Structures are given as structure tokens and as C-alpha cells.
Structure 1
């Protein structure tokens, strides 16, 4: 009887260790992905820096960028980062209602950001500032658009997590997905701060 209890305890410990290893492997894989993303964005920033070094192009960027609109975009995205942090807090508390609430808030804020970004692109194209007009606009659309595509996939991940919690509950695999999503979303916030500072502020100033 005692041996059976020991075996059960050892089995539970081994199972817990295996689950932790699996989570760590997934998080490590995400870190590798984020590092590769950093390289992509670093290349895009470098190309933008080279092209925008021309003074006449800086003058153009001063005219096309509307800082008030971009500030609102930034506010929405930073606020979504805060709500994303509360998702992880809700996960640690095993509070599904809290997780649902902040997932929805994060989705809505991210959607508002993406909507404003698409609207900005539309207005630029309407004023003949399309990617085929000049190399500056090509790299601008590529850099900001690449970030926007990442936001779009982040929104899909948000809906996916909501669906998984509804169907599976707050399982270990779902918790791992929440952690991965949180890291991914905060990474996008950091990239956007770089875009805002390097592209928009630098362009206006």
C-alpha cells in the first residue's frame, strides 16, 4: 500500500515535470521566433533610415504624418498591453471571467489600432502617397504594414484563445498559449514604440 502511494506520488511528480518541460520548450520556441522577428524589423528600420536620410524626403514626411492620429493609435495599443497583462493575472488566479473580459478588451483595442492604421494607409493612397510613388513610401508601407500584419495575427490568436477556453477550459496547454500570446503582444508594443519614435516623431520633428 505504501509502495503504491509512493509510485503514485512519483508518477505525479514526473507528470508535472514533463508538463513544465513542454511549456518551457514552447516558450523557448516563441523566443526564437521573436528573435527572428527582431532581425526582420531591424533590417526594415535600417532600410528606412538610409532612405529617409534625404532632407527632401524628411520634408515630405513632415507633411504627410498626422501626429495626433498616431498618438491615439499608440494610446490604444499601449492600453491593450496593459489589458493583456491582466489576462495573465487572471490566468494565475484561475479567474476565467477575468480572462474573458480582458481578452475582449485587448481584442477591441487592437482592432481599433488596426482600423486606424488601415485608414491612415487609405488616406495616404488617396493623396497619391502610394508605395509605387517613391522608395520612401515603399519602405514606410512595408515597415508599418508588417507590424500591422502581426497585429492582425495577434487578434486571430485572441479569438482562438477565447474559443479554446470555451471548449477546453483553462487547461495547461491553454495557459501556455496565453503566456505565448502575452509575450507576442508585448513584443508588438515594443516594436510600435520604435516605429512611433523613429518614423513618426522623427518625421514630424
Structure 2
């Protein structure tokens, strides 16, 4: 097994363990009771559309990095990711201001856990992008790293779409 295959296996093992962790959180969210009034208060469709388009554009830019290795794409991904995090934490802060925090009930506890766990992955991707910028500055061959970065971004976006589908179709 060569070096690339070992790194690829390690990435897929990481993504599989992340999928298992997200699946457990999704199942706990689905099995928790949700009052319709709470669901109506936490679901802001306009914010979800903005956040989804930001993540979709970041996934597109990560794919664009595979063909043209320009540093401006890294900065755009970092900027859009930070904008996504600001919107998401502002939304969570708004929920705590109207006394819908993670202590309110089991559904909101799982909801906060899911969004914060997803935000943690966005932060990891920002750190990954900053690391790739430094590697590019020292003329390191980062083609393999760009492939891993793109796979990770697509994983993050798929998880976000699953979060939205779970929230919209929950009983």
C-alpha cells in the first residue's frame, strides 16, 4: 500500500466515524418529542437558504481548487465559512434569548448538539484551509491535500442537507 492509499483510507475511516456520530445525533433528534410551536420558532427558512447556499458555494470552490490551484479560492472558502458560522451562532444566540436553549427539552438539546457539532466541522475545515494556504506559500505539492479538502467539504455539505431534511420532515 503506497502513501496515497494509506492517507485515503485514513480519511475514509475518519469520515465513517463522523457519519456514525452524526447518525447517533440524528436518531436522538428524530426520537425526541418536538412541539409544533417550537419547530415553528426555530425554523427560519430564509436563514437556512442563505446558509445552504454558502455551504454549496464552498463545496463548489473546493472542487474548483482541484483544477486551478489558486489561493483566492482558499480565502473565499474561509470568508464564506466564517460568514456561515456567524449566521449560525447568531441564530443559536437568538434562540437562547427567547428562552429556547438546550435546557428547555430533549429536542432542543439534540438540535443544539447537532448544529454545534456541524459548526465544529466547519471550524476544522477553516483550519484545514489555512494550513493549505501555508503549504502553498512554501511551494509544497498539495494536490492530494486538495482532494481531501474537497471530499471533506462535500461531506460537510451533505451533513447540512441531512440536517435540513431531518428538521423539515420531523413529526
Separation of aligned partners in 2, 1:130 and 1:141: 8
State the match for 2:161 in structure 1.
Answer: 193
State the match for 1:73 in structure 2.
Answer: 51
The CA RMSD measured in Å over matched residues stands at 1.6
Q: TM-score, normalised by structure 2?
A: 0.94
2:20 paired with 1:39: yes
State the match for 1:140 in structure 2.
Answer: 111
Q: Deviations over 1:12-43 (max 9, x none)?
A: xxxxxx8xx20121011100110010000111
Gaps of 5+ in 1: 1-17, 92-97
State the match for 1:128 in structure 2.
Answer: 99
Q: Between Structure 1 and Structure 2, whose CA radius of gyration is higher?
A: 1
Separation of aligned partners in 2, 1:143 and 1:90: 34
> Which residue, out of 179, 184, 188, partners 2:147?
179
Separation of aligned partners in 2, 1:190 and 1:125: 27
Separation of aligned partners in 1, 2:72 and 2:89: 26
Q: TM-score, normalised by structure 1?
A: 0.79
**8 Å contact kept, 2:103–2:109:** yes
> Which residue, out of 89, 106, 112, partners 2:67?
89
